[in-house]
Amino acid sequence: MALSRTQLHAAPQALKGKLLPQALKEKHLPQAVRASPQATSAHDAAVAVWLWAIAAIVFLMIIVGGATRLTDSGLSITEWRPILGAIPPLSAADWQSAFAKYKEIPEYKLVNAGMSLEDFKVIFWWEWGHRFLGRLIGLAFAIPLAAFWALGWLRPGLTPKLVGVLALGGLQGAIGWYMVQSGLVERVDVSQYRLALHLTVAFLILGMVVWLALDLAPDTRSPRLTTLTVAQRRRAWLIVSLVLSQVVLGAFVAGTKAGLVYNTWPLMDGRLVPNGLLTLAPWYVNVTENITAIQFNHRTVAYVVLALALWHAMSLARAEDDERISRTAVVLALAVVVQAVLGIATLLLAHGRIPIGLGLAHQGGGAIVWAFAVWHAFRVTRGTVVKARASA
């Protein structure tokens, strides 16, 4: 027996935030869940564990990528050999050959001239580790995916999504090389545009994997009534898009080394709004090439995200609704507070160089904020039956 929308809206107050009765539950289950009798919850659990493990390695990859950048190691391997590149130099002659190739690029000549082989090995291992982890993620994704598919453990509709994530992962490897290439001739570091693209795709992959893993939880198949308003639901998605924009802006801060100037807070050059925000023409070039504007934009969007996340968490807490929704909003708001503090500390303690520990905490913190934003948006979208009100 399915309930009509009117009956649903007339559901008793006591049901809000509670599990739905069976009839209502069936009606509001995601389509894929209803249409897949052969996939059991035990299979879902196995697939979900695998996806959470993938999310953990992608997170680790984001940290290792940050360490590779912060130790200036990213240009130490000057060629792209997707398969053979997994084997590091094994003999003294191999090391000399790899070092000789590095000596040909501008970064060595202009920044690291005279570097010892031992120092070269340190930067080589960071870049090699980053690429090796990328290969490992590819295998850890593709092999179980093929096995789950062959066993028929994947719910209908899930296979193409997972294949899409796998393809994006492959593309990410190519984008990584495209980024490295930009630093091999003429420049001593990589293009900030390509770095931003590489970081953004990493975050998108993380977000997709988290979403797909959450979608397999038994909890998701227990829809609850909620009094969430349309405005609150939209706000959750606005936060997702603002956090992603903030990540892109952060990548531009990192890619242009804009964190090494204006190391004061809350003022920049003694002002809340510094001079020199629009010195380049045309005006829009300032967004991605003017380090004053790049840092100012990253600060400003941080304040907007912070204010919105706190307001959103408070507005949901007052609604006394499904506690899964209000709890994720609070966790998200707290993560944003910590992330902003880490960003400010990174800036204040950067004396000619970003402190590696803080830089990594801020990069990892960005990934955690992003995952929580996705988690919260998932909660307001899936597993709930909205009893919509007209206004916020």
Across 95-113, b (16+ Cβ under 10 Å) vs e yields: beebbeebeebebbeeebe
Among 240, 354, 374, 385, binds ligand HEM (CB under 6 A): 354
Three-state SS sequence of 124-192: HHHHHHHHHHHHHHHHHHHHHHHHHHHHCCCCCCHHHHHHHHHHHHHHHHHHHHHHHHCCCCCCCCCCH
Across 151-188, b (16+ Cβ under 10 Å) vs e yields: eebbbeebeebbeebbeebeebbebbebbbebbbeeee
Among 363, 368, 376, 385, binds ligand HEM (CB under 6 A): 363
Among 74, 169, 176, 366, binds ligand HEM (CB under 6 A): 366
Return the number of the residue (149 or 262) whose C-beta is nearest ligand HEM: 262
73 binds ligand HEM (CB under 6 A): no
Single-letter amino acid, residue 294: I
Tokens standing for 12? Answer: 């008793």
CA 235/CA 230 separation, integer angstroms: 9
Return the number of the residue (298 or 376) whose C-beta is nearest ligand HEM: 298
Burial class (CB in 10 A: 0-12, 13-18, 19+), 214: buried
CA atoms in the 13 A half-sphere facing the CB of 162:
28
Return the number of the residue (11 or 344) whose C-beta is nearest ligand HEM: 344
Return the number of the residue (209 or 225) whose C-beta is nearest ligand HEM: 209
Among 359, 371, 374, 375, binds ligand HEM (CB under 6 A): 359
Return the number of the residue (133 or 305) whose C-beta is nearest ligand HEM: 305
Site for ligand HEM in 244-273 (CB under 6 A): 246-247, 250-251, 253-254, 259, 265
192 binds ligand HEM (CB under 6 A): no
Return the number of the residue (190 or 316) whose C-beta is nearest ligand HEM: 190
Choose one: 79-87, 179-187, 273-281, 357-365; the region binding ligand HEM (CB under 6 A). 357-365
Among 74, 134, 176, 343, binds ligand HEM (CB under 6 A): 343
CA 344/CA 244 separation, integer angstroms: 19
CA 21/CA 213 separation, integer angstroms: 25
29 binds ligand HEM (CB under 6 A): no
Site for ligand HEM in 225-244 (CB under 6 A): 243
Residues that bind ligand HEM (CB under 6 A): 66, 70, 243, 246-247, 250-251, 253-254, 259, 265, 298-299, 302, 305, 336, 339-340, 343-344, 346-347, 354, 359, 362-363, 366, 369
